[in-house]
Amino acid sequence: MAGTAQKPFFGDTPEMLWGDPQTLSGEQAVFLQCGRGSIHHKWLSNTGRNWDLIVNYYDDSYLHSPIGDIAFYQRGTKFSGVYNVAQVFPSLLSYRHILLLDDDLLFGVEALSQLFRIAEEKDLHLFQSSLTADSYCAWPLLHHQKGERDARPVNAVEIMMPGFSGEALKLCLSDFPRSLSGWGLDFLCGERVSQHFDQAPQVIDSVQARHTKVINTEDGAYYRFMRSLGIDPAKELKAICKEFGLTPDIMAL
């Protein structure tokens, strides 16, 4: 499943920095992959927050701006982080819904609460908010669309901000080692969830988030990090799509 370059990151035991799992609500949660340059301070507030905040730090920035109801440290990516945290904190898979967010997204606390309410009301298994018109995104279909519907079906959601039911995350977790970069997991998780739950992934247009950073696959820090590990995201994507017969395109259903 995991290749030679991916294996050191999956199965690596994360260091728990602080927090008591017994104090968590266990209902809804945000898993934030967080490092230096994170913009969480622009949106995070405990006022009105009714979801748990689980943070995985991939650098030592926790020394300067600690956040989270429970926090872990490990070098890697969001998907290796979620995979490894679930091994030492299995309650991660018991949440009714959990969002896996990158640290360059701008939300509001109430917007996140609204997203969870809609996911709960519609019993969604894989979903995301829509993106503002000025967001950087490879898939125009995921930008906000005006209309009367709360949700619209697609074949996959963005790896920067997927929301899972606990059941769906449990279903998809074993696939995470297939792609350290995350490329290809969007399409594979979409296929898994659609087949298992007979429910397409959903974009929630009544909630918007802004993706603030340019996606720079040539010289962006994330992609430089991938290259330093010998990881080619395009090859990870191609391998997944070839193995499972998937089309690498986000489409309306």
Q: Which H, E and C letters describe 60-87, residue by residue?
A: HHHHCCCCCCEEEECCCCHHHHHHHHHH
Weakest mean pLDDT among 5-9, 10-14, 45-49, 118-122: 45-49
pLDDT at 85: 96
Per-residue pLDDT tens for 170-201? Answer: 999 999 999 999 999 999 999 999 999 999 99
CA atoms lying within 13 Å on the CB side of residue 129: 28
Residue 149 has pLDDT above 80, yes or no: no
Q: CB–CB of 85/14 below 8 Å?
A: yes
Cβ within 8 Å of residue 154, ≥6 positions away:
141, 142, 190, 200, 201, 202, 203, 250, 251, 252, 253
pLDDT at 2: 66
Candidates 33, 173, 27; CA nearest to 94 is: 27
d(CA 120, CA 97): 8
**What is the β-pairing status of strands 105-106 and 202-211?**
antiparallel
Q: CA 134, 135, 140, 142: dihedral to nearest 10 degrees?
A: -120
Per-residue pLDDT tens for 98-136? Answer: 999 999 999 888 899 999 999 999 999 999 999 999 999
Both structure tokens of 122: 């519609």
